[in-house]
Amino acid sequence: MAKTVLVSGGAGYIGSHVTVELFAAGYEVVVADNMSNCDLTCFNGVKKITGREDIPFYEIDCCDYAAVNRLFDEQKIDAVIHFAAFKAVGESVAEPLMYYRNNLVSFLNILEAAKNHGGCNVLFSSSATVYGEAENLPVTEKTPRLPATSPYGNTKTMCEDILRDTVRATETIKGIALRYFNPIGAHPSALIGELPRGVPNNLVPFITQTAIGKRECLSIFGNDYPTEDGTCLRDYIDIVDLAKAHVAAVSRMLDGRMKEGYEIFNVGTGRPVSVQELVDAFEKVNDLKLNYKIAPRRPGDVVAIWADTTLANEELGWKAERTIEETLASAWAWEKSLAGK
Ligand code: WQD
């Protein structure tokens, strides 16, 4: 019998891509989402891509313990991938209590319900933000975490620790934290992708919205950093590659291949790309000119971060495959498909 994976936040950007790849790998998926930061566009896209009209969908808030518990009563869950969380760094600085309550309580509820239903394999969606401004690059999973510079970042660090401690104390719970670098791009079908509400904070949605004319001009935040072209360096990971890393991690848990009860993997490409290089590549691959200007640095940005991906490559048997050109073309195809809707 196929194993069932609960994807919390499954109607969102990363969750929808992961749901598609889980089905492709032969798993059954149950989606839970409170729709607080998305509409049905991606969930409907998932149904189209997979040809599955019958995906169990719970419109619940994971902060509601009774609702989460009911879901576990009704479904036999073999693994959980937990995405349901707020993710805007700036907003978290303005509304720390809202971020701590939402991101911590929802995860505690998932763990508690899993524990009360005989245990589970839990995959937590963490972030490279836990490394802060690292001294040595690229960062490995052993690179020390630094104090987070935002409540959002803090919730990632705290949830990692909550998972680690829960695994330590609970024989029936295993855990993996995946630390994502910068996820970008869209599914090749252009049926699912990133749907930011309001003005995008992240670079690629801002680029595509500028290219399509929704935004007037992209600001490159700082060109006086100590890097080759003066702009910041990041490790941009294709969303489909990222989704496949989740399948690899879930299989490792479900097939009993974990070496320890709690494991951590970086999910990136291992290649640093500057903001300027990304903008240039976007223009080139999509054969267009982008309206952009150099603006002051954005407070809180780290100069450079990229992943050492050896552990994920060796232990998960996973590697990023799509080129940055393919990824940027997919982001543009998605933006254009939205304009046609
Ligand atoms: C990338 C680079 C900007 C916008 C954040 C979170 C992280 C993760 C992903 C999210 C930086 C520059 C950006 C713009 C620009 N979590 N930039 N003009 O800051 O690396 O990571 O998002 O859910 O936890 O911290 O990503 O895409 O915002 O920025 O020049 O309009 O692009 O300065 O160098 P970041 P980003």
Cis preceding-peptide flag for 138 (omega within 30 of 0) = yes
Sole residue written with tokens 């941009």: 236
**Considering the entire predicted model, what is its pTM?**
0.98
Most ligand 1 atoms within 8 A of CB, residue of 203, 220, 234 to mutate: 203
236 contacts 202 by C-beta, under 8 angstroms: no
Query: Which residue puts its alpha carbon closest to atom 18 of ligand 1?
Result: 220
Element (H, E) at 85: none
- pLDDT of the residue at 44: 98
Q: How far apart are the CA of 203 and the centre of ligand 1, in A?
A: 6
Query: Which residue puts its alpha carbon closest to atom 9 of ligand 1?
Result: 182
Element (H, E) at 122: strand 120-127
- pLDDT of the residue at 111: 98
Question: What is the spatial distance between Cα 48 and Cα 161, in angstroms, rounded to a whole number?
Answer: 37
Q: How far apart are the CA of 35 and the centre of ligand 1, in A?
A: 23
- Asked about 58 being catalytic, the answer comes back as no
- pLDDT of the residue at 216: 98
What contacts 24+ positions apart, CB below 8 Å, involve 316-320?
Answer: 316/245, 316/248, 316/249, 316/252, 316/265, 317/248, 318/244, 318/245, 318/248, 320/237, 320/238, 320/241, 320/268, 320/269, 320/270
Q: How far apart are the CA of 110 and the centre of ligand 1, in A?
A: 28
Query: Which residue puts its alpha carbon closest to atom 36 of ligand 1?
Result: 202
Furthest-apart CA atoms within the chain: distance in Å = 56
Q: Which residues line ligand 1 (CB under 6 A)?
A: 87, 89, 127, 129, 182, 201-203, 206, 218-221, 232, 234, 275, 298, 301
Please list the residues that pair with 198 across neighbouring strands.
Answer: none
Query: Which residue puts its alpha carbon closest to atom 30 of ligand 1?
Result: 220
Q: How far apart are the CA of 256 and the centre of ligand 1, in A?
A: 36
- pLDDT of the residue at 293: 98
Most ligand 1 atoms within 8 A of CB, residue of 13, 139, 269, 275 to mutate: 275
Query: Which residue puts its alpha carbon closest to atom 3 of ligand 1?
Result: 221
Query: Which residue puts its alpha carbon closest to atom 16 of ligand 1?
Result: 87
62 contacts 84 by C-beta, under 8 angstroms: yes
What phi-psi label fits residue 21: left (phi over 0), alpha (psi between -120 and 50 degrees) or beta? alpha
Q: What is the mean pLDDT of each run of 10 residues along the chain (341 residues)?
A: 97 98 98 96 98 98 98 98 96 97 98 98 98 96 94 97 98 98 98 96 98 98 98 98 98 98 98 98 98 96 97 98 98 95 72
Give the up-direction half-sphere exposure of residue 56: CA atoms within 13 A in the CB hemisphere. Answer: 15
Q: How far apart are the CA of 201 and the centre of ligand 1, in A?
A: 7
Most ligand 1 atoms within 8 A of CB, residue of 208, 234, 303, 305 to mutate: 234
- pLDDT of the residue at 149: 87
Q: Which domains are seen in the chain, by residue range?
A: 4-186+238-269+308-322 (3.40.50.720), 203-233+271-306+326-336 (3.90.25.10)
- Ligand 1, atom nearest to 150 Cα: 25
- pLDDT of the residue at 282: 98
Length of the chain: 341
* 3-class secondary-structure state, position 131: helix
- pLDDT of the residue at 340: 78
225 contacts 303 by C-beta, under 8 angstroms: yes
208 contacts 334 by C-beta, under 8 angstroms: yes
Element (H, E) at 324: helix 324-339
Question: What is the spatial distance between Cα 119 and Cα 139, in angstroms, rounded to a whole number?
Answer: 32
Q: How far apart are the CA of 202 and the centre of ligand 1, in A?
A: 5
Q: Spot the catalytic one: 152, 225, 236, 262.
A: 152
- Ligand 1, atom nearest to 232 Cα: 34
